[in-house]
């Protein structure tokens, strides 16, 4: 726990118990001494305040019901009547039937889990180890080949793009030449 968080909670407790005027502004006294002072103040408050004393007496009588760590089957037997238990079982009957059906289904599939194929796993495990290493090597080779193919495809796309631009340029040049030739032929024909 960090010191600042602890200090803030301790100041808050001091404020609640001692009031605003009695809370020390500086915290030069040790934390243990301050906690001891708070314990004394709580004890004084407990002894002088009848409602708090009554509450604590009732609390002590019911503490075993409030503590989830003490929630045992014996305590439930003490608290629940037979009719209440029957009502709880009847309310959960659908869930219990579903659970029973699932248990039956698991029981019927038990032969699948305990089949003879699974017994072979112990002998096949050591054979799998070299295959895993070979698979890792093949995956590495596949990665390298994929990179080479990707580089080749990028180069091919670049060449095709350049050739397309050259053919378009030649087409423009030839179209311009044809237009000039046609214009010259018309002039000579006139």
**What are the residues whose beta carbons fall under 8 Å from the beta carbon of 64, sequence distance 6 or more?**
70, 75
**What are the residues whose beta carbons fall under 8 Å from the beta carbon of 38, sequence distance 6 or more?**
10, 13, 14, 17
Write down the pTM of the prediction: 0.34
Residue 10: CB atoms within 10 A of its CB come to 15
**Residues 70/80, Cβ–Cβ less than 8 Å:** no
What pLDDT does residue 163 have?
96
What pLDDT does residue 132 have?
93
Degrees to nearest 5, angle at CA 88 with 84 and 93: 145
CA distance 33 to 39: 10
**Residues 11/23, Cβ–Cβ less than 8 Å:** yes
Q: What is the pLDDT of residues 116-170, one digit of tens each?
A: 777 777 788 888 889 999 999 999 999 999 999 999 999 999 999 999 999 999 9
What pLDDT does residue 1 have?
46
**What are the residues whose beta carbons fall under 8 Å from the beta carbon of 53, sequence distance 6 or more?**
46, 47
What pLDDT does residue 46 have?
75
**Residues 27/7, Cβ–Cβ less than 8 Å:** yes
What pLDDT does residue 120 have?
73
What pLDDT does residue 173 have?
96
What pLDDT does residue 51 have?
80
Enumerate residue ranges in the chain where pLDDT < 70.
Answer: 1-6, 10, 13, 17-28, 64-78, 115
């Amino acid at each position: 726990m960090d010191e600042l968080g602890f200090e803030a909670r301790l100041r808050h407790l001091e404020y609640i118990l001692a009031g605003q005027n009695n809370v020390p502004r500086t915290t030069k006294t040790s934390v243990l001494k301050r906690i001891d002072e708070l314990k004394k103040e709580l004890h004084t408050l407990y002894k002088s305040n009848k409602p708090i004393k009554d509450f604590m007496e009732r609390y002590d009588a019911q503490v075993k019901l409030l503590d989830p760590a003490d929630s045992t089957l014996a305590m439930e037997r003490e608290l629940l009547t037979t009719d209440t238990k029957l009502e709880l079982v009847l309310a959960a009957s659908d869930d219990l039937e579903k659970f029973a059906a699932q248990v039956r289904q698991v029981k019927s599939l038990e032969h699948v889990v305990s089949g003879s194929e699974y017994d072979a796993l112990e002998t096949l495990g050591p054979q799998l180890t070299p295959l895993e290493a070979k698979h890792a090597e093949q995956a590495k080779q596949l990665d390298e080949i994929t990179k080479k193919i990707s580089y080749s495809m990028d180069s091919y796309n670049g060449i095709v793009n350049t050739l397309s631009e050259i053919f378009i340029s030649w087409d423009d040049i030839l179209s311009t030449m044809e237009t000039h030739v046609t214009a010259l032929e018309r002039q000579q024909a006139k």
